[in-house]
């Protein structure tokens, strides 16, 4: 199938080359059972829970050979009621439904499973909730996000490089699809580097277990919803990572996949029931076309293919219309917030999930954590379609009305590429923001220049440092939440074909690296110039609310120059001019009188040069002028 240029790169996140698993086969109990049965219950999800959650209902998924034949008894526990159990198709699962009253205290529920070959006891832990309401800080337009791949950023603990029980047990830095060894410790060791850029939030690609035989490094094929990938660190170490980030003034965004899982997830190897997955007579891909969801003339089959078709052969499509599956997923993502104190979720392949589930999932998380930041990947071809998947002014379509605060702004990213090329069209910047009227609040959208699924911007624009600096200026002064892909600030390059090259290691993050780009001494003059430019604007943005929450006024581009202002009620005003011409241009300031009136001078933010004449501006070719205005 030939996909549009908007959709094809999204597949690069997740394509794996492992044997296809039959989608209609249900493993037998004998197949799923381990060679030697361990003493006690194999697992219960969630692994533990908390008293005091707003939703008193708790669904436990118990997994153990033959557990369905057991009768559950629970010792009396004040405030906790056993509302019943439910068998599933697989004999190896039992659902336990509990009700936890608001006055229940932390402790352990004494569970006993008796029947068939089982006589098993389990102490299920109920913990006290964290009472620090500021612990989950949220993500908003005051933030500057640094997006990285933990495996490719820095290796701080070589002892976790190889896990003997993992399906992929090698580290091979010369292979773009193998593990390279990066981890939480490696990120922690470079907190100061991130802060020097003005970064306030870290977004790693998924850190939950991805125990797939090949290409497991990216994390988008989860094999255990309740465990960290131990090659990054333990689940406890991830919670500590979040805490250490907070202590360093850095927030953490948790990257998640709702639509699918990895085919080596225990829930797929031993399926609780056939209807936990979207099953087809033979393997059936998604059509990857979100237009089917709200096409007034569309067919039901096209909608089903989009939402229920599989993303890839090794990524089973989860049936979120099943209320048991929906509850399982919602509880999991509540669990990660309460356990770690993470600040926000980035949702991969957001539009592919069941629409009703998306509304239920978003409501459940925001009901429990109103301050939680959330933005989704909606890699679509128009502003209207992108706005459809965020909070917007549009009427519901077939009952769907998105409650997602924001999305990754692929429309402005497309505009940036068009504007920054040698014969760039800065009108695209203007056009991309003109559509913001469709959103409830476009400032919650995340703006970016490149990411792990596309060519690096430096290569796309012909390795032009002047034009890249224009891009940095736009990124850090426009509306929304800026996101920088790791290494873009030191001119990392390459094209997405082959896609692995855009996911290269950060030089200096690994033992034996000949160059250390984390230090100024290890950078070339051009790399240092790029780094210093981002650092200057990033730290300026961090200390100037006008670039975080100020209003934006843009003027129709003329003569290849795009001009806009950020301003607020406190009297702060910053003027930005982007010149897409190779030659210097003189701009008449009278055109901008409604924003310049009352100001007499200014300072160019990056260079520190004084600006004394606001009637006429000279803007060098392929450059950005960022001026803090003064009265």
Residues 6+ apart with CB under 8 A from 439: 387, 390, 391, 392, 393, 445
CA angle 379, 482, 177 (to 5 degrees): 55
Calculated CA dihedral for residues 460, 462, 468, 470, nearest 10 degrees: -100
Q: What are phi and psi of 630, to 5 degrees?
A: -135, 150
Q: What are 197's two structure tokens?
A: 């850029």
Q: What are 559's two structure tokens?
A: 């003569």
Of the candidates 164, 364, 332, the one whose C-alpha atom is nearest the C-alpha of residue 261 is 332
Of the candidates 146, 217, 147, 155, the one whose C-alpha atom is nearest the C-alpha of residue 185 is 155
Cα separation of 122 and 37, whole Å? 16
Strands of 573-579's sheet, edge to edge? 551-558, 561-567, 573-579, 623-630, 601-604, 610-611
Q: Which helix (H) or strand (E) holds 485?
A: strand 481-485
- Tally of CB atoms within 10 A around 169: 12
Q: 46 near 333, Cβ under 8 Å? A: no
Of the candidates 78, 82, 69, 25, the one whose C-alpha atom is nearest the C-alpha of residue 51 is 78
By annotation, the residues acting in catalysis are: 348, 377
Residue 395 CB burial class (10 angstroms; 0-12, 13-18, ≥19): exposed
Cis bond upstream, residue 498 (ω within 30): yes
For residue 244, the SS3 value is helix
Instruction: Please give the span between the terminal C-alpha atoms of the chain, in angstroms, as a whole number.
Output: 59
């Amino acid at each position: 199938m030939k996909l549009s240029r908007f959709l094809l790169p999204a597949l690069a996140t997740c394509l794996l080359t492992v044997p296809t698993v039959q989608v209609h086969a249900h493993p037998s109990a004998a197949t799923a059972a381990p060679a030697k049965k361990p003493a006690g219950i194999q697992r219960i999800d969630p692994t533990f829970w908390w008293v005091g959650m707003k939703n008193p209902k708790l669904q436990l998924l118990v997994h153990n050979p033959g557990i369905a034949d057991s009768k559950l008894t629970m010792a009396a526990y004040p405030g906790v009621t056993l509302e019943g159990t439910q068998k599933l198709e697989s004999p190896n699962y039992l659902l336990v439904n509990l009700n936890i009253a608001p006055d229940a205290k932390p402790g352990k529920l004494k569970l006993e499973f008796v029947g068939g070959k089982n006589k098993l006891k389990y102490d299920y832990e109920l913990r006290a909730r964290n009472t620090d309401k500021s612990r989950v800080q949220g993500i908003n337009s005051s933030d500057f996000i640094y997006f990285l791949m933990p495996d490719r950023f820095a290796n701080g603990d070589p002892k976790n490089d190889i896990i003997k029980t993992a399906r992929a047990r090698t580290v091979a830095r010369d292979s773009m699809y193998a593990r390279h060894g990066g981890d939480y410790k490696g990120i922690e060791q470079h907190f100061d580097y991130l802060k020097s850029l003005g970064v306030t939030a870290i977004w790693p690609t998924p850190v939950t277990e991805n125990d797939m035989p090949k290409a497991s490094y990216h994390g988008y094929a989860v094999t255990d919803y309740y465990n960290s990938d131990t090659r990054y660190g333990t689940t406890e170490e991830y919670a500590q990572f979040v805490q250490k980030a907070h202590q360093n003034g850095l927030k953490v965004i948790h990257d998640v996949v709702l639509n699918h899982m990895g085919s080596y997830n225990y829930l797929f190897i031993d399926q609780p029931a056939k209807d936990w997955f979207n099953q087809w007579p033979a393997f059936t891909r998604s059509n990857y076309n979100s237009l089917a969801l709200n096409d007034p003339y569309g067919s039901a089959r096209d909608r089903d293919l989009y939402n229920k078709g599989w993303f890839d052969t090794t990524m089973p499509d989860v049936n979120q219309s099943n209320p048991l599956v929906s509850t399982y997923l919602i509880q999991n993502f509540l669990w990660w917030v309460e356990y770690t104190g993470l600040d926000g979720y980035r949702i991969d392949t957001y539009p592919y999930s069941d629409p009703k589930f998306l509304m239920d999932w978003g409501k459940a998380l925001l009901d429990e954590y109103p301050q939680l930041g959330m933005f989704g990947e909606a890699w679509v071809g128009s502003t209207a379609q992108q706005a459809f998947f965020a909070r917007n002014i549009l009427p519901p379509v077939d009952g769907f009305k998105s409650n997602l605060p924001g999305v990754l702004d692929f429309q402005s990213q497309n505009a940036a590429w068009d504007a920054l090329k040698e014969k760039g069209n800065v009108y695209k910047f203007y056009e991309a923001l003109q559509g913001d009227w469709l959103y409830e609040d476009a400032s919650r959208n995340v703006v970016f220049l490149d990411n792990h699924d596309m060519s690096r911007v430096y290569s796309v624009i012909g390795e032009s440092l002047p034009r890249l600096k224009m891009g940095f200026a736009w990124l850090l002064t426009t509306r929304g939440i800026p996101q920088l892909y790791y290494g873009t600030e030191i001119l990392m390059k390459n094209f997405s074909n082959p896609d692995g090259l855009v996911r290269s290691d950060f030089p200096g993050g690994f033992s034996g690296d000949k160059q250390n780009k984390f230090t100024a001494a290890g950078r070339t003059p051009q790399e240092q110039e790029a780094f210093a430019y981002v650092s200057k604007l990033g730290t300026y943005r961090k200390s100037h609310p006008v670039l975080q929450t100020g209003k934006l006024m843009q003027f129709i581009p003329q003569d290849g120059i795009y001009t806009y202002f950020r301003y607020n009620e406190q009297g702060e005003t910053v003027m930005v001019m982007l010149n897409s011409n190779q030659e210097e241009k003189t701009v008449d300031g009278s055109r901008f009188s409604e924003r310049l009136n009352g100001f007499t001078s200014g300072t160019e933010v990056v260079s520190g040069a004084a600006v004394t004449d606001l009637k006429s501006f000279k803007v060098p070719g392929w450059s950005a002028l960022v001026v803090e205005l003064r009265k």
